[in-house]
Amino acid sequence: MSIWARISEFLSSISTVAMTNVIERVRTVFEGDPEMRRRVAFSIAMIALSAKMAKADGVVTRDEVQAFQQIFIVPADQAKNVARLFDLAKQDIAGFDAYAQRIAGLCGSGQPNCALLEDVLDGLFHIAKADGVVHEHELGFLRRVGEVFQIEDSHFETILARHTIARDGTDPWRVLGLAPNTPFDKVRARYRLMVAENHPDKLIARGVPEEFLAIANSRLAAINGAYEAIERSMRFA
């Protein structure tokens, strides 16, 4: 059964109208299937927090809708369920902090810089920058989500750098999370670790949809570009 069919089945089995309760129910309904729970949790996390980010920003642009569709390819007969979740999140009086806290408990390991929660944050950045810029309200939203997810400040900066490097030429050292002039052997070790951690097989195992791999490839492209820029600068120094 597809992920969207399972989500549809899940939604038909609950009567709650509060999105925060929907998120919490995922834990119990899919308790016996950890893999499906990760996949459902990731999908609902992206839908719920995307809706809250749109509300914080005040508008949903066509570019942002298209960016969301790059993360999820939803069958036409399941689109109404995505719309239902999106509307529930927008209408829910609970703040996005409450959503992020429940999602962190649902998706995460309880450890700082949890990889799956970073994937959620990466997806939100992808949507936020779809219109060409991460706006001030969106960045504030993303920073707060990162705090709730226990994404350390320095790690958040590397994520931010990945998503702004093409636009403003961000320092490649930030993309790799290293101090300028770090010895090249440590640069290479850091680069290899980041590439290994972001291998597509690892992302799929964490529960991200196959469509998300296009975003993961952009992540790797930013990491590769930063490494190559540092390598060139050291070669010709």
Question: How many whole angstroms separate alpha carbon 141 and alpha carbon 48?
Answer: 13
What pLDDT score was predicted for residue 206? 80
What pLDDT score was predicted for residue 1? 58
Neighbours of 6 (CB within 10 A): 17
Spans of the chain, pLDDT less than 50? 166-167
Neighbours of 75 (CB within 10 A): 11
pLDDT digits (tens, 9 = 90+) for 35-90: 888 888 888 888 888 888 887 767 667 777 778 777 777 888 888 888 888 888 87
In degrees, to the nearest 5, what angle opens at C-alpha 143 toward C-alphas 105 and 61? 100
In degrees, to the nearest 5, what angle opens at C-alpha 74 toward C-alphas 79 and 127? 100
What pLDDT score was predicted for residue 105? 83
pTM of model > 0.85: no
E strands, 36-173, are none
